[in-house]
Amino acid sequence: MTAIILTPGQTTLAQLERIYREELPVTLDRAARPGILRAAAAIAAAAAGDAPVYGVNTGFGKLASMRIAPEDTATLQRNLILSHCCGVGDPIPRPHARLLMVLKLLSLGRGASGVRWELIELIEAMLARGVTPVVPAQGSVGASGDLAPLSHMTAVLIGEGMADYRGKVMPGAQALAAAGLAPIPLGPKEGLAFINGTQFSTAFALAGLFDGWNAAQSALVVSALSTDAIMGSTAPLQPEIHALRGHPGQIESAGFMRALLAGSEIRESHVEGDQRVQDPYCIRCQPQVTGAAMDVLRQAARTLEIEANAATDNPLVLTEAGLIVSGGNFHAEPVGFAADMIALALAEIGAIAQRRVALMVDPVLSFNLPPFLTPRPGLNSGLMIAEVTTAALMSENKHIAMPCVTDSTPTSANQEDHVSMAAHGAVRLGKLIANLNVILGVEAICAAQGIDFRAPLQTSAPLHAVVARLRLDVATLGDDRYMAPDLAAAAKLIATGTLSAAAGLTLPVL
């Protein structure tokens, strides 16, 4: 498998999404090597000198005033990693762990961290040979860096901690040996360079962005299907309406919905003579809501693309100025804001989707569809409780989406007195998106069932393709049956982007 070559400072979201989804090997552009070597030489010189340099020949955090003897600088870095391996909770998924490693490579590749080239090569080799550190999900407050999770990652490089190798979890040293690799003892500042950074938070925020964007695209497709199922109007999709407001996501959403509904016999059947004046907001305002959410996701995407390419450890080696300077790039506030934005946007996509589900199962509002979309109501309950499940998940997502960056708390004896909570904000996106995929999956089931009831009238060609793909995994509902597998199958079609692909809808996040 050919490795992706990444250029520090210029890596794109498209490249990172490929790495996340395909677990591809990665190498840094070798043009980054001279800058990395210059910074490493500056750190080596500082370690041999008399002047105190934070994290090189001093303690850490509240202990920064304590000087460390030259002969103890390597022990200092090893102790730092081992003492900071305090993560708890379930191990993070393998794709997230690999993305974490790639982001750390990009940060070190900016040539401001002072690590040796051998460590860059070791991370590359671990990615290529399938050695993935076991990283617990909990323990970071998002400043000063994602200390605990990044320590668990770094521990494997020095032959400690635990790692996954070919599907088996084993001690880090054993995993390296099985892959034909050897641990590397850390030199001055190298431990600090590895754990002072936002890569854990950023990896989860990026995963949330990638999977959330997929859900947003699916929401456009499924909402168009719902519009046809309830014989909704396409008049609110007129391009002039959206141009007059000017928001790009709204304009784009309305345009794609128009294209998806074009040619529908169902729509043409009630263009004239329909006594309804307006559809409920969940149909009429879909471009305004999901379009706005897409704009918010794109704002978050721009922040995360910058952060993915950033040097975020401390101190930073400014080789051109000849300085090693303590700063605060490890503070993950930008990532925390981005994660909160993603959560709010996705919760709203789910909220309006749930209202469309409720609309379709209600015979008063669905324009003559049978109650709960069953052909024999009364004897059968149909999709009654599927709708209740979407209500439960929508409510849960509202709680999950509460902002995290506002929940700072002081740590480390008040030395680190304001933190971002970006890790918590980013990790929760996985649960929120899983809930959203179920909501959208149930909407797809309901909408397809509604379309079936409109026969012999046919929906548009793109939406017919969506229904046909859904029917490969979820059969039309006749009499009541065990529903849980249907909900799981539909959610999977949303999560994998299968239904939006069936409609021919692919929108780049940037």
User: Which residues carry out catalysis?
Assistant: 54
Separation between Cα atoms, residue 152 and residue 136, nearest integer Å: 8
SS3 content of the chain, % helix, strand, coil (to 5): 55, 5, 35
The per-residue DSSP string of 473-489 comes to TSPPP-S----HHHHHH
Residue 362 φ then ψ, to 5°: -100, 110
Cis peptide before 456 (omega within 30 of 0): yes
Tokens 């050695």 map to which residue? 131
Cα 400–Cα 402–Cα 407 angle in degrees, nearest 5 = 115
The distance in angstroms from the start CA to the end CA of the chain is: 27
The per-residue DSSP string of 343-406 comes to HHHHHHHHHHHHHHHHHHH-TTTTTSPPGGG-SSBTTB-TTHHHHHHHHHHHHHHHHHTS-STT
In sign, the C-alpha dihedral spanning 134, 140, 145, 151 is negative
Cβ burial of 2 (10 Å; 0-12, 13-18, 19+) is exposed
Separate counts of helices (H) and strands (E) for the chain: 21, 9
Contact 178, 125 (CB under 8 A): no
Contact 382, 158 (CB under 8 A): no
Separation between Cα atoms, residue 421 and residue 444, nearest integer Å: 35
The two three-digit tokens of residue 459, written as one number: 């929906």
State the DSSP H helix or E strand holding residue 40, giving kind and residue range, or none if neither: helix 33-48
Which of 346, 452, 434 has the alpha carbon at shortest distance from 389?
434
Contact 342, 208 (CB under 8 A): yes
Using alpha carbons, list the distances in angstroms from residue 383 to 48, 106, 236, 299, 357.
72, 48, 28, 37, 9
Contact 297, 220 (CB under 8 A): no
Instruction: Give the residues across from 377 on adjacent strands.
Output: 380
Which of 373, 378, 372, 383 has the alpha carbon at shortest distance from 454?
373
Tokens 């590397």 map to which residue? 184
